[in-house]
């Protein structure tokens, strides 16, 4: 399936306030006339996607990816793929690899006009260190000797100002020397800390002399043991953005209160000649909140660790790897992200919007196939045993360019599987499927008339009987003389592929599983995974992992060989044909 952004079915994204900001900057030329050190012109729009490589990406990250890469694409700019790897402890190469894979799978690239824009914040540690020294020299930072407890205590509250540290006015030379000692490993973790010298009485707590460098004797995945001091996010992030000439630094609303600090860092360092103007600007949008899922990394990990799901790529997980195994397409995820735009206010998006986007993407392009999920035997008594007649159906739906060209073939035989719900001995009013005396069409095959059924001792129906009309075959002239209301799917009992199908559903029954401190484990949907053996059209024997089909009347299913031992494809249900939740 194509990952191409422009020829997909996604409509032009709706305008959002970020587009308004970018367009205003383009009109006023805020970021025109910028160039690199060697004089090459820079695009006016440079965004970045800056994950910390400490876990798997989820649907919320996809939102950020679509926004950042999407805006860069739409405004002829570029988006940097940047690992915000300034925390030594939690970061691993495994996460770097899965993140890069997820971004590419979503259809985005950090390549722009021949340049690769893949960056690691840890490669800027030298610069960040020098920037911190410059702040100390100019009186804008100092080494504090208070411990964490004392710092917390002197920080004040929302209603009370904080108190100055006794080390706040120490001479710059002394702070410089101590900062070097910190770097040289002469002090244990937590004994000294570098703080920005701003305003302990600021109504914005983030400006009350925030920590900008701390001691951490730890091995880093990229820089090894070169460093034992590491920059704090609030200092590192604006520096990373400015070094990469980011124009629009887009983050989620939680960072709104950090914006004054972001600007402070950049203003100070530009006054020291370390950055040229125009500086990057930070903008905040509301994070994506989808009902019926959780996105906290810690809680997702708990689901994995406690074996509530079968791994990070369990098809019920909201991770990119999970969604992918579930049968989600990049196009569907992009469509959902575009459609939900960017807002300044937090809100909930119904999970049905994501499912709707998948249906919308797959309906015109997914191959069609037949599957009987809850089988019941249908015996055509006047059809000779051992005989089979070839039937055919289009592979693709009517709107598809290959609709008239590609056909699949499958035999009809005396014994078939039909859906259990397609027969009723005593039908209610308005039931058009099989019941004694009624005629239906076996889709792509013949019209049959129901003659009765067999039951076991307990009265359960175990087989249905019918007779067929030889001149009624679909696609032949005679077929039009039969007018029937029911049109049932079926597979030949002898030829069907009997295989495992997993019927996945939402993992939680509560639309807000972890809202307000709720224990999300109490809201687990006991029916989020049902494993059945289904009878599939024989052509599906050749399905390859990742192939997506519409099983007629049932929904969309993706072939998945994970867990399959005998080499047969197994299928995961991605989504039903219609939304049945909340109805």
Catalytic residues: 52, 287, 297
* Distance (Å, whole) CA 182 – CA 178: 6
Q: Which residue is nearest to ligand ATP (CB)?
A: 60
* Distance (Å, whole) CA 120 – CA 71: 22
Contact flag: residue 297 with ligand ATP (CB under 6 A):
yes
Identify the residue among 236, 266, 288, 448 touching ligand ATP (CB under 6 A). Answer: 288
Cβ-based nearer residue to ligand ATP, 240 or 355: 240
Question: Least distance in Å: CB of 63 to ligand ATP?
Answer: 4
Apex 405 CA angle, 402 and 410, nearest 5: 110
Distances (CA, A) of 359 to 60, 72, 110: 20, 27, 29
Q: What part of residues 232-271 is at the interface with ligand ATP (CB under 6 A)?
A: 251-252
Q: What part of residues 102-141 is at the interface with ligand ATP (CB under 6 A)?
A: none
Contact flag: residue 63 with ligand ATP (CB under 6 A):
yes
Question: Least distance in Å: CB of 33 to ligand ATP?
Answer: 28
Tokens of 383: 């059809």
Contact flag: residue 343 with ligand ATP (CB under 6 A):
no
Contact flag: residue 538 with ligand ATP (CB under 6 A):
no
Options 287-295, 370-378, 393-401, 453-461: segment touching ligand ATP (CB under 6 A):
287-295
Q: Which residue has the tokens 């004994």?
A: 191
Q: Got the DSSP string for 485-545?
A: SEEE--EETTT-EEEEEEEE--SBSSSSTTGGG--GGGGB-TTSEEEEEEEE-GGGGG--T
Helix axes 17-28, 59-74, angle to 10 degrees: 30
Contact flag: residue 54 with ligand ATP (CB under 6 A):
yes
* Distance (Å, whole) CA 413 – CA 391: 10
Question: Least distance in Å: CB of 288 to ligand ATP?
Answer: 4
Contact flag: residue 570 with ligand ATP (CB under 6 A):
no
Question: Least distance in Å: CB of 319 to ligand ATP?
Answer: 11
# of chain residues touching ligand ATP (CB under 6 A)? 14
Options 50-58, 127-135, 416-424, 439-447: segment touching ligand ATP (CB under 6 A):
50-58
Options 48-56, 152-160, 360-368, 446-454: segment touching ligand ATP (CB under 6 A):
48-56
- How is residue 368 annotated by DSSP? E
Question: Least distance in Å: CB of 505 to ligand ATP?
Answer: 22
Question: Least distance in Å: CB of 475 to ligand ATP?
Answer: 50
Contact flag: residue 61 with ligand ATP (CB under 6 A):
yes
Contact flag: residue 52 with ligand ATP (CB under 6 A):
yes
3-state secondary structure of 85: coil
Contact flag: residue 512 with ligand ATP (CB under 6 A):
no
* Distance (Å, whole) CA 89 – CA 101: 22
Cβ-based nearer residue to ligand ATP, 70 or 375: 70
* Distance (Å, whole) CA 366 – CA 348: 29
CA torsion through residues 265, 268, 272, 274, sign? positive
* Distance (Å, whole) CA 180 – CA 160: 34
3-state secondary structure of 557: strand
| Burial class of residue 55 in the structure, from the number of CB atoms within 10 Å of its CB (0-12 exposed, 13-18 middle, 19+ buried) | buried
Contact flag: residue 80 with ligand ATP (CB under 6 A):
no
* Distance (Å, whole) CA 112 – CA 403: 37
Question: Least distance in Å: CB of 457 to ligand ATP?
Answer: 56
* Distance (Å, whole) CA 305 – CA 299: 10
Question: Least distance in Å: CB of 97 to ligand ATP?
Answer: 15
Options 47-55, 356-364, 386-394, 500-508: segment touching ligand ATP (CB under 6 A):
47-55
- How is residue 167 annotated by DSSP? T
Distances (CA, A) of 416 to 116, 466, 493: 57, 11, 5
Cβ-based nearer residue to ligand ATP, 204 or 252: 252
Cβ-based nearer residue to ligand ATP, 176 or 349: 349
Options 49-57, 269-277, 407-415, 497-505: segment touching ligand ATP (CB under 6 A):
49-57
Contact flag: residue 50 with ligand ATP (CB under 6 A):
yes
Contact flag: residue 287 with ligand ATP (CB under 6 A):
yes
Cβ-based nearer residue to ligand ATP, 211 or 274: 211
Question: Least distance in Å: CB of 34 to ligand ATP?
Answer: 23
* Distance (Å, whole) CA 186 – CA 176: 14
3-state secondary structure of 396: coil
Cβ-based nearer residue to ligand ATP, 284 or 361: 284
Identify the residue among 295, 319, 329, 499 touching ligand ATP (CB under 6 A). Answer: 295
Q: Which residue has the tokens 């592929």?
A: 497
Contact flag: residue 64 with ligand ATP (CB under 6 A):
yes
Contact flag: residue 280 with ligand ATP (CB under 6 A):
no
Contact 570, 543 (CB under 8 A): no
* Distance (Å, whole) CA 485 – CA 434: 10
- Residues of this chain that bind ligand ATP (CB under 6 A): 50-52, 54, 60-61, 63-64, 251-252, 287-288, 295, 297
């Amino acid at each position: 399936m194509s990952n191409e952004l422009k020829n997909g079915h996604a409509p032009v994204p709706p305008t959002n306030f970020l587009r308004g900001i970018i367009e205003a900057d383009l009109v006023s030329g805020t970021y025109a006339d910028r160039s690199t050190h060697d004089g090459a012109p820079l695009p006016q729009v440079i965004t970045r996607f800056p994950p910390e490589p400490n876990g798997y990406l989820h649907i919320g990250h996809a939102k950020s990816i679509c926004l950042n890469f999407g805006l860069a694409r739409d405004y002829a700019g570029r988006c940097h793929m940047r690992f915000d790897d300034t925390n030594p402890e939690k970061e691993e190469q495994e996460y770097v690899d899965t993140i890069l894979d997820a971004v590419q799978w979503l259809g985005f690239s950090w390549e722009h006009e021949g340049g690769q824009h893949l960056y690691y914040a840890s490669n800027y540690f030298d610069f960040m260190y020098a920037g911190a020294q410059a702040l100390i020299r100019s009186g804008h930072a100092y080494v504090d000797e208070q411990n964490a407890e004392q710092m917390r205590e002197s920080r004040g509250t929302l209603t009370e100002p904080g108190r100055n540290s006794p080390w706040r006015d120490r001479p710059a030379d002394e702070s410089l020397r101590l900062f070097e000692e910190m770097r040289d490993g002469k002090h244990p973790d937590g004994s000294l800390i570098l703080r920005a010298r701003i305003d302990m009485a600021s109504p914005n707590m983030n400006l009350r002399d925030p920590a900008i460098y701390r001691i951490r004797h730890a091995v880093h995945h990229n820089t090894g043991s070169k460093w034992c001091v590491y920059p704090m996010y609030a200092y590192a992030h604006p520096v990373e953005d400015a070094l990469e000439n980011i124009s629009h630094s887009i983050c989620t609303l939680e960072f709104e209160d950090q914006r004054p600090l972001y600007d402070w860092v950049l203003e100070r360092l530009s006054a020291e000649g370390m950055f040229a103007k125009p500086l990057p600007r930070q903008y905040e949008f509301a994070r994506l909140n989808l009902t019926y899922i959780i996105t906290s990394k810690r809680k997702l990990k708990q689901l994995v660790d406690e074996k509530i799901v079968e791994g990070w790529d369990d098809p019920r997980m909201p991770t990119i790897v999970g969604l992918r195994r579930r049968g989600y397409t990049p196009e569907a995820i992009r469509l959902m992200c575009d459609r939900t735009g960017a807002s300044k206010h937090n809100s909930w998006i119904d999970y049905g919007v994501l499912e709707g986007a998948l249906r919308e993407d797959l309906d015109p392009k997914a191959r069609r196939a037949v599957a009987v999920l809850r089988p019941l035997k249908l015996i055509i008594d006047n059809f000779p045993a051992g005989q089979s007649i070839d039937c055919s159906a289009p592979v693709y739906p009517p709107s598809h360019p290959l609709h008239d060209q590609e056909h699949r073939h499958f035999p009809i035989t005396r014994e078939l599987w039909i859906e259990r719900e397609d027969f009723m001995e005593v039908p209610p009013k308005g039931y058009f499927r099989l019941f004694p005396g009624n005629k239906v069409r076996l889709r792509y095959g013949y019209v049959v008339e129901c003659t009765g059924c067999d039951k076991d001792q307990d009265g359960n129906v175990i087989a249905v009987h019918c007779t067929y009309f030889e001149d009624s075959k679909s696609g032949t002239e005679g077929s039009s003389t039969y007018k029937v209301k029911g049109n049932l799917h079926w597979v030949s009992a002898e030829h069907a592929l009997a295989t495992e199908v997993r019927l996945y559903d939402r993992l939680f029954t509560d639309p807000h599983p972890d809202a307000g401190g709720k224990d999300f484990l109490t809201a687990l949907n006991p029916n989020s995974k049902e494993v059945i053996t289904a009878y599939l059209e024989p052509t599906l024997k050749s399905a390859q992992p990742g192939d997506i089909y519409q099983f007629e009347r049932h929904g969309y299913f993706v072939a998945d060989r994970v867990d399959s031992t005998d080499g047969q494809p197994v299928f995961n249900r991605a989504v039903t044909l219609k939304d049945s939740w909340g109805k």
